[in-house]
Chains A and B, each alone.
Chain A
């Protein structure tokens, strides 16, 4: 009896291995693309069938009597240059019943002093809740002339910690978490509160659109002239934000599988947020984690609920326009998504969590966890293997299709959706510029972005916790 082993031909083995690698990369990319197109369809359906939007003039008349009171929570850290203008802009919001709680998170500059002197505040006492954890509060500041404003001075603990202090100090059923250096459109609260008015027993959270203010003119804390920035990175981020908010969030909201409401602008029902312990410490993805905790709470309690996304209310923010700052931000976002995924991994494909386990977590797995790893692997190996011979040309073309061509068509399709449904860009030229950017971003920027996300992966593995610094230049003012 003789034993015969079939020794594979090394050339065949190399071809098979190369094709297997390419297949994994292409299938993963294709799954992402299919998912994005499904989201685009859902976003189109959501925008096409959204409830009629009252004109700004009727918005107040219709909603002001029933609009629930809102506490606007604005955490501030070392923002002495902008805090007064930001607070004035918040106090001027059009909403019938709201309070603005500015939380000075242990700033080392003159943030608190500027607030106290500019608004004539005095130290007061306040009976506050202690339901969620945060660093100790050092004092409260208010003025009888401005009954809507409360400044909370606390020891430094980070944004999540500051928001938790704000939640404890708020006395309304709803709170709106924002970044102190962002600009809310004056009717943004009236618009974002709509799900809480339409479905008061079901809605526990709602998010609004974030738009990039770079290039726009700001006057007295309001956007007075919408313009595109000249900086390429800022332009690319406008297209990215359009995709993220108009396609992904509107689509996921329609599916009721939204996994994140931006920390820059979200409205929450206080009671459920307190039940989940408020914002989590020790993560850089605290906004995403809060939404996941809310889903978990409601699913485990088997209660009907809604977490919605409304495209109309707008919050303007300044985006990074240098590679170093943008890279740090993207690495941090990646790290935040991975932290949330690992913390709640038991929800992945778990039927107990319904569509949030299947669709929401499937999306995180595909886009945030596997996406950058496989795409970078593809960028390195597929062209190399094609150049060396083991891969035939069709494999390379298929890889280019999933990484470049479908990406371009998705970005353009998002612009088409924007133009049909919202028309937020006043000039034709601006839309044309964005169309060019939607093509260009796929060649160079997209690859760089994936490298930053790999950096985030690396930081996550090393359990690096720092936020890094976001250098803001301040809005251009008239």
Chain B
């Protein structure tokens, strides 16, 4: 009986506790609404200071206002470019915004640290602090710092950045591709060098390949080599073929032709897609044999590629549209109709 009574009493206590907590939060909300009014007023006062005037005439703000100034700076910086942004950042530095952002790097909240890193990367003199954030305990903050650094010419070496990110163990994000694209803008050789690092996660290498493929045909022979060499990695190979296709360069022709004969349907589909993107007319006949592939995606990519490669491809599709095989006929007819639409 005492247990049953205790259950009732515990439920009452929990109920009261929850209500008390909510009451406190309601009170906190009322107070924060007042604070919000004060912040809005501070923003209105600070806006002209940030947008106009000589930075040397500005003095650091008081603690209460500087937070509003930091938020305002980031918001305006995202909307401005060039000299206008530089002048804004100079005024913000004079007002003490960078000091606040540096202090925020020590916040317990990962969200605050990430916001601070992204904001600090806008300021020329804060490079070392952003590099320091590559050692942050939170992987998202580290990635944010890496992405911010990669947009600057004086970014650390790609191998150092990927080592800090602990790719494969802690970091698997597709944003690695964005990182590699930005790093390749200033140092494509170093990004290509990642492909030959033996101990590096395959995720880094795939991201590097995706990034290099966006630089046109320059790295097509290297990607073609990688595509052939990755035959025993069915998850990886389709992505390399797609990267090879993106280069639009004929250097990958042999590798692509081999890819279309793969036992793995995802590789066949990716290779067929690459044919369309590189407009490999010589592959038209090989593509026509894929029109009766058991997998829809292979049939679709093959018929789409035939349409993309132009006259020769269209004539192969027309011929296939008269095929006795209903699967081939349907694929060809539908794609021809889509091409006309």
Query: Interface of A with B (CB < 8 Å)?
Result: 26, 30, 51-55, 57-58, 62-63, 65-66, 68, 124-131, 142, 144, 171, 196-202, 392, 394-395, 397-398, 400-402, 405-406, 408-410, 412-413, 415-416, 419-420, 428, 431-432, 435
B interface, over-half SS: helix
Q: Which of A53, A128, A171, A398 has the most CB of B within 10 A?
A: A398
Which of B56-64, B170-178, B184-192, B281-289 sits within the interface?
A: B170-178
Q: What residues on A are CB-neighbors of B138 within 8 Å?
A: 52
Count, A-B residue pairs, CB within 8 A: 142
Q: Are B334 and A30 closer than 8 Å at their CB atoms?
A: no
Q: Is B157 an interface residue (CB 8 A)?
A: no
Known A52-B113, A58-B118, A409-B17; further 14 A-B contacts with Cβ < 8 A: A58-B78, A124-B341, A126-B338, A127-B334, A129-B300, A144-B341, A394-B4, A405-B12, A405-B15, A406-B15, A412-B15, A416-B22, A428-B33, A432-B26
B interface bracket (residues with beta carbon within 8 Å of A): 35 or more
Q: Is B110 an interface residue (CB 8 A)?
A: yes
Q: What residues on A are CB-neighbors of B1 within 8 Å?
A: 392, 394
**Least CB distance, B149 to chain A, in whole angstroms:** 14
Q: In the complex, what residue of chain B is closest to A414 when comparing beta carbons?
A: B18
Q: Are A405 and B8 closer than 8 Å at their CB atoms?
A: yes
Q: Is B98 an interface residue (CB 8 A)?
A: no
Q: State the CA gap A432–B26 with chains docked (Å).
A: 8
Q: Are A127 and B335 closer than 8 Å at their CB atoms?
A: yes
**Least CB distance, A118 to chain B, in whole angstroms:** 20
Q: What residues on A are CB-neighbors of B225 within 8 Å?
A: none
Q: Are B172 and A200 closer than 8 Å at their CB atoms?
A: yes
Q: Are A127 and B173 closer than 8 Å at their CB atoms?
A: no
Q: Are A409 and B331 closer than 8 Å at their CB atoms?
A: no
Q: What residues on B are CB-neighbors of A126 within 8 Å?
A: 334, 338
Residues 98-138 of B contacting A (Cβ, < 8 Å): 110-111, 113-115, 118, 138
Q: What residues on A are CB-neighbors of B10 within 8 Å?
A: 401
Q: Are A412 and B22 closer than 8 Å at their CB atoms?
A: yes
Q: What residues on A are CB-neighbors of B78 within 8 Å?
A: 57-58
Q: Is B261 an interface residue (CB 8 A)?
A: no
Q: What residues on B are CB-neighbors of A57 within 8 Å?
A: 75, 78
**Least CB distance, B19 to chain A, in whole angstroms:** 6
Q: Are A66 and B8 closer than 8 Å at their CB atoms?
A: no
Q: State the CA gap A52–B173 with chains docked (Å).
A: 14
Q: Is B271 an interface residue (CB 8 A)?
A: no
Q: A401 contacts which of B8, B17, B140 (Cβ < 8 Å)?
A: B8
Q: What residues on B are CB-neighbors of A196 within 8 Å?
A: 174
Q: B22 contacts which of A401, A405, A435 (Cβ < 8 Å)?
A: A435
Q: A52 contacts which of B4, B29, B140, B335 (Cβ < 8 Å)?
A: B140
Contact string against A for B residues 292-303, beta-carbon threshold 8 Å, 1 for contact and 0 otherwise: 000011011001
**Least CB distance, B174 to chain A, in whole angstroms:** 4
Q: State the CA gap A215–B38 with chains docked (Å).
A: 30
Residues 135-160 of B contacting A (Cβ, < 8 Å): 138, 140-141, 144, 147
**Least CB distance, B272 to chain A, in whole angstroms:** 14
Contact string against A for B residues 30-51, beta-carbon threshold 8 Å, 1 for contact and 0 otherwise: 1001000000000000000000
Q: Is B162 an interface residue (CB 8 A)?
A: no
Q: A416 contacts which of B21, B174, B235 (Cβ < 8 Å)?
A: B21
Q: What residues on A are CB-neighbors of B172 within 8 Å?
A: 198-202
Q: Are B18 and A428 closer than 8 Å at their CB atoms?
A: no
Q: State the CA gap A415–B115 with chains docked (Å).
A: 27
Q: Are A131 and B296 closer than 8 Å at their CB atoms?
A: yes
